[in-house]
Amino acid sequence: MQSQDFYALIADELKVNARQVQSTVELLDEGNTLPFIARYRKEVTGGLDEEQIRHIEDRIRYVRNLEERKQTILESIEKQGKLTPELQAKITRATMLQELEDLYLPYRPKKRTRATIAREKGLEPLAEMLLAQELESGELDEIAQQFIDPEKEVNNTEEAFSGARDIVAETIACDADVRKDIRKFTFRTGLMTSKVRDGKELSVYEMYADYSELAKAIRPHRVLAMNRGEREGVLRVSLEVEEEPALNLIHKRYLKNKKSVFVEQATLAMADSYHRLVAPAIQRDIRNHMTEQADEHAIAVFAENVRNLFLAPPVREKIIMGIDPGYRTGCKVAVIDETGKYIEGITIYPHPPQKRWDFSKQQLLQLIEKHNVGIVAIGNGTASRETEQLAAELIAELKADLFYVIVSEAGASVYSASPVAKEEFPDLPVEMRGNISIARRLMDPLSELVKIDPKSIGVGLYQHDVNQTRLADSLDRVVESAVNYVGVDLNTASKLLLKCVAGINSRTAQNIVEYREQNGRFTSRSELTKVKGLGDKAFMQSAGFLRIPDGDIFLDATAVHPESYSATEALLNILDLEESDVKTDGLTLRLKVQQSNKRMTEIASECRVGVPTLEDIIESLEKPNRDPRDEMPKPILRSDVLKLEDLSVGMVLKGTVRNVVDFGAFVDIGLKTDGLVHKSMMAKKYVKNPMDFTSVGDVVDVKVLKIDAEKGRISLSMVLD
């Protein structure tokens, strides 16, 4: 396939123009980053979004790898002297790796097989007779006589035909068309089944003790659950297929003459080929494919949840107290200021075995009054709800404007022991760092969570079962996307946050921090060019995502890229506006555009930019200090504790979505465990994908459907009437 064919293929998948795909590929090949292309090269891509560009990036990598594989295969077959024009055309036209490997299978170097041994015994001519099925008369013993040779360990008729059948079986198994037919039939009609192994405890696999479902219909989370049960030795999983229709597919291709004396032998060879070679390989391929598809789905779900968690709104201008709850070792408490700076920390022991409840309240009260704490962030781990009760009592007694929030502490212990935490707080013991992280997660989730391995954040379902390389790659992309979507304050961002900015690597991020420490705060984006290792290319990729609030240049605080500063100045001149006018009221700009009675194309032409860039400039100037996270649902602030006994069926509550999975969403309504909204309870219509209806961080109204006090489970509904 030629490059133009690739572009057309990908364009068809995305329902866009092939020229858009080609232009995007060229930008990627030039080393441009995805966030930069999506934000600042809309004229070139025709306005493709980040997801579309990512698809192009992945698919062009796939088809290029496919082309490389084609060349390797063609060279291999040609060296064997077996490359025909027809075979070359099939290989050249192949668009899927599986199709390509099926075509190559007959020519792939093999280990010694039963068919190889039979060929060495000189039985290939007999196998060809079985395949041709031309002979309609004669005795098999007489036909086999010419192939009997004790020196070659062919002692009788049965041994001769047995070897010939082995050759026929392998020939059929290597037929790409046969494999295609059987693969299609198996996937369309096969049943994925699971049964509990003798003597095994089912635990979480109760529903899979005797389970079956069409392979083509089974949901990804069920595939992963069955795989896990199989891997743990609890379940026996198989792909069951009706044998007779599958064999008929082979008969249609290879049973050529029912009058032939070789019909019985050929039929035996076909059955052997299916049972011994074709079915096991195809079923293995399909299960691998299903696992890959389930992996991709689970990774996509997890990545979307992580993105939404990263984009949770920050809590601004509040002194925050973070509490990492615990029993025997106590609750670790930390206070941070409005910038996230650690002020003071203590350990309290309100819970068993010490039970210093009243004294612990006094200790917290002193910290709250001393530092004017506005919000208490409580980690949701061990002793969380008991600590919540402590905070609620304290708030009730204070009768002050103080609230608490339950914060996910997933990954806090990982952070506490990490080199990053040690570098940030070298004088604090490991156990006194998690509480700071909990407080900072409330203050600025993005800046804090970027320090933690995304797999440890705890908003997935099967993240430990999927392909870890693919998961890591996907999560890196998500973090990069979230950071660049929000933008980064050049003068306060950590090196971990900076290295997620388009065009900046770890070394450059470290150099930026060192430059800042040596020279003080950046006063303009152009000053970045003085940073060691940050060249013109890196500056172009990163500058638009790095912001300098209250810097020397107003536009440095916006999402306007430096390459568009002159266009922005031209726009202000056309509209007879000053920068100060926009600073005072950004909406004035849009009003002036409307009052100018000029078409956007006309204004764009005068500014010497495309319409998409002009629209982005206007949008950036409308809200120059805009943080897109501020438009997300705010965390629910609580002052009292909700107990399971307080619930009743039909009660309507407000909750925060903590996790979204294939079958629904888990919602924190203020209890120890999250309630589950099954996807059938998300809307009055059919819900295929819960993510179409809610996201991690959403604040939703839910109705209590069922309470299982014994198991501590609550069923909820987002359908309130």
Q: Residue 405's pLDDT is what?
A: 93
Higher pLDDT, 70 or 623: 70
- Statement: residue 525 has pLDDT above 70: yes
Polymer length of the chain? 721
Token digits of residue 709:
């006090």
pLDDT in tens, 39-98: 999 999 999 999 999 999 999 999 999 999 999 999 999 999 999 999 999 999 998 999
Q: How far apart are CA 479 and CA 455, in angstroms?
A: 12
Q: How far apart are CA 131 and CA 614, in angstroms?
A: 70
- pLDDT band at residue 1 under the 50/70/90 scheme: low
- pLDDT band at residue 10 under the 50/70/90 scheme: very high
Please, are residues 216 and 188 in contact by the beta-carbon 8 Å criterion? yes
Q: Residue 60's pLDDT is what?
A: 94
pLDDT in tens, 436-479: 999 999 999 999 999 998 888 877 777 788 888 888 899 899 99
Average pLDDT, the chain: 93
- Farthest CA pair distance, the chain: 106
CA-to-CA dists, residue 207 to 461, 465, 696, angstroms: 17, 19, 27
For the chain, list the domains and their CATH numbers.
3-77 (1.10.10.650), 320-459 (3.30.420.140), 644-717 (2.40.50.140)
Mean pLDDT computed over 601-626? 93
Cβ count within 10 A of residue 608: 12
Mean pLDDT computed over 564-572? 96
Q: Residue 643's pLDDT is what?
A: 81
Out of 328-337, 349-358, 450-459, pick the least confident. Answer: 450-459
Please, are residues 500 and 479 in contact by the beta-carbon 8 Å criterion? yes
- pLDDT band at residue 559 under the 50/70/90 scheme: very high
Mean pLDDT computed over 601-617? 96
Q: Residue 635's pLDDT is what?
A: 85
Token digits of residue 611:
């319409």
- Statement: residue 188 has pLDDT above 70: yes
**Model pTM?**
0.85
Mean pLDDT computed over 169-179? 96
The residues pairing with 231 across neighbouring beta strands, listed in sequence order, are none
Q: How far apart are CA 702 and CA 699, in angstroms?
A: 10
Higher pLDDT, 716 or 204: 716
Three-point CA angle 288, 475, 542, nearest 5°: 140
Q: Residue 546's pLDDT is what?
A: 97
Query: Which amino acid would we find at residue 290?
Result: M
Residues above pLDDT 70, as percent of the chain: 100
Residues above pLDDT 90, as percent of the chain: 81
- Statement: residue 678 has pLDDT above 90: yes
Q: Which one, of 532, 440, 447, lies nearest residue 487 by Cα?
A: 447
The DSSP call for residue 140 is: H
